């Protein structure tokens, strides 16, 4: 498909293959890491467990093929490292300025939540950590899940949005 699109637009710098597009993402600092996961979600096979073929908790094989000759894991977690993404934000003057909008430009309105900074959690955090709050370049992370089901009841979904 990428070849078809790049052939259709010969003057463009579109990648010609999937591997080439992954290379561009890596160079931009936007790649992801594959981390193998135990079949029963007991362990992430990384760092000191990276060489293991069997889960140290439940003793299940890491591989779909029990012998491990094909080396296809049961589960894979795709981890998007956050530090390269932060670096990308501050590499551009425009996006760097936009991250400070809440402190430098925004005009708060009483009794209206037009930005997460108007929320009680943000205000409480600012009061607890005033040194952090003073520097408008400091980033705050938000956790948002959609359809997360913490209690295993498949008939109900749980959604959460929380700023830290």
- From the centroid of its chain, how far is CA 100? 21
The pLDDT tens digits for 72-118 are 999 999 988 888 888 888 888 998 888 888 889 988 888 888 888 88
- pTM, two decimals, is 0.58
Beta strands in the chain (DSSP E): 33-37, 44-45, 75-79, 142-148, 158-163
Question: How far is 29 from 27, CA to CA, in rounded Å?
Answer: 5
């Amino acid at each position: 498909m990428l070849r078809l699109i790049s052939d259709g637009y010969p003057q463009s710098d579109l990648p010609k293959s999937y591997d080439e597009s992954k290379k561009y993402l890596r160079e931009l600092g936007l790649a992801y890491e594959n981390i193998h996961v135990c079949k029963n979600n007991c362990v992430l096979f990384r760092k000191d467990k990276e060489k293991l073929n069997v889960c140290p908790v439940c003793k299940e094989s890491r591989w779909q093929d029990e012998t491990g000759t094909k080396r296809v894991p049961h589960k894979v977690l795709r981890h998007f490292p956050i530090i390269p993404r932060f670096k990308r934000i501050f590499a551009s003057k425009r996006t760097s300025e936009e991250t400070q909008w809440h402190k430098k430009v925004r005009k708060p309105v009483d009794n209206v939540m037009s930005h997460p900074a108007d929320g009680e959690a943000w205000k409480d955090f600012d009061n607890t950590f005033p040194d952090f709050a003073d520097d408008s370049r400091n980033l705050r992370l938000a956790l948002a899940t959609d359809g997360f089901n913490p209690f295993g009841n498949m008939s109900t979904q749980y959604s959460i949005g929380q700023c830290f």
